[in-house]
Every structure is written in C-alpha cells, then in structure tokens.
Amino acid sequence: MLEILDLMMRISALKQTARTGWNIKFPPGHAFQSRTIPDAESVADHSWSLAMFAFMVGTKLGLNIEKLVTMALVHDIAECVTTDIVTATMGDEERKRVKIEKRQTEDAVMREIFLPHGKFGERCYALWLEYEDGTSEEARILGQLDKLECAMQAVLYQEQGHISRPPEFLAFTRKHVQHPELLEILAALDARA
C-alpha cells in the first residue's frame, strides 16, 4: 500500500501545476490576444472537471463510464513533470514539432510514473495511450470533451469578469468537436459567450 501513497504524493503535484493558457501574453498584432486570470485553475482542477464532464456525457451516450472517467483522470498526469505546454497558439510548423517532442517526453514520463506499479500502472499507461491515439470511441469523445471543457472554462472565467477570450477557445474547439450532441453543447457555449 505504501507504493500507492508514493504515487499519490507524486501526482498530487498536478494540484500546483498551472494551466498555462489562462495567463499568457502575446505581442501586438499576434493572432491571439493576451489573457489574464488571477488564480487560474490547475491541471488537477481541469482533470477533475473533465472527469465529471465525461461521466455525465458518457452516461448519456452509453459509453464505458469506468474507462472514460479513468482515462480523463490520467490524461494529463505527465504534466506533473512536464508542466502544461500550450500548442494551440503556435504556428503550424512549430506546433507539429512541439507536439512530436511533447508526445515523446510525455510517453517517457508516463512509463516512468506508472509501469513500476504492475497491472494497475500498465492499465493507466494503456488508457493514456488509447486516449492519445484516439483508438476507441471513449478516447475520441474524451478528446472532444477536453476541448469543450476548456472552452466552457473560458466562458465561466468571462462570466466572472476575467479576460479569458472565449471566442479564441470556441474557434479552436470548433475544429475538434464532431459528435452531434457535443456540437449542441458547443453551440450553447457560443451563444452564452
């Protein structure tokens, strides 16, 4: 049981790992505008919100809830080491390069964190790979929900009076959401923003 405590102590770093996209400055004339959210959410906050979103949506869609929620909980675990790397605001070439490097680094981190933990660790690592590769309906839905959750958070921050730039998040999310019922949620967020 002590190995569980060790793992929890390690991944609890996500509670102090900032979601960097909420506080980012861009030079004048950049395609994106600067955002300022004091005390913005952590990666752990995002993962919890995504897991709840996945639980609700997955239930409605008849998906494997245990797989979907567990996948949501582990999807950003590597960021307790790598931190949150925002690629959406990069140019095409830089984004491609950084995504490849990010995937390689995160893969090494996920192996190092989980594989020493036997079947449990193997399962967490396999679910992360499934999510990253989009090899199941749960993984594809979760990928879309990940983008929707971020857009929802931008709208929530705007409603709280912060400079969060929801139209930028919604435009990015539109490129990734395909499921008809998730498109309804996106349209509702658009209208609310």
Q: Which amino acid is at 107?
A: D
Nearest in space to 84 (alpha carbons), one of 15, 152, 144, 21? 21
Neighbours of 127 (CB within 10 A): 23
Q: What is the structure's pLDDT at 30?
A: 84
- pLDDT tens digits for 6-39? 999 999 999 999 998 899 888 888 888 889 899 9
Please give the share of the chain, as a percent, with pLDDT higher than 90. Answer: 81
- Tell if the pTM clears 0.85, that is, is over it: yes
Q: What is the structure's pLDDT at 37?
A: 94
Q: What is the structure's pLDDT at 86?
A: 81
Please give the share of the chain, as a percent, with pLDDT higher than 70. Answer: 100
Nearest in space to 41 (alpha carbons), one of 154, 142, 173? 154
Domains of the chain are 41-192 (1.10.3210.10)
Taking the C-alpha atoms of residue 59 and residue 138, their distance in angstroms, rounded to an integer, is: 11
Q: What is the structure's pLDDT at 91?
A: 82
Buried b (16+ CB within 10 A) or exposed e, 42-56: bbbbbbbbbbebbee
Q: What is the structure's pLDDT at 3?
A: 87
SS3 36: strand
Q: Which residues of the chain have pLDDT under 70?
A: none
Q: What is the dihedral of CA 110, 111, 113, 117, to 10 degrees?
A: 130
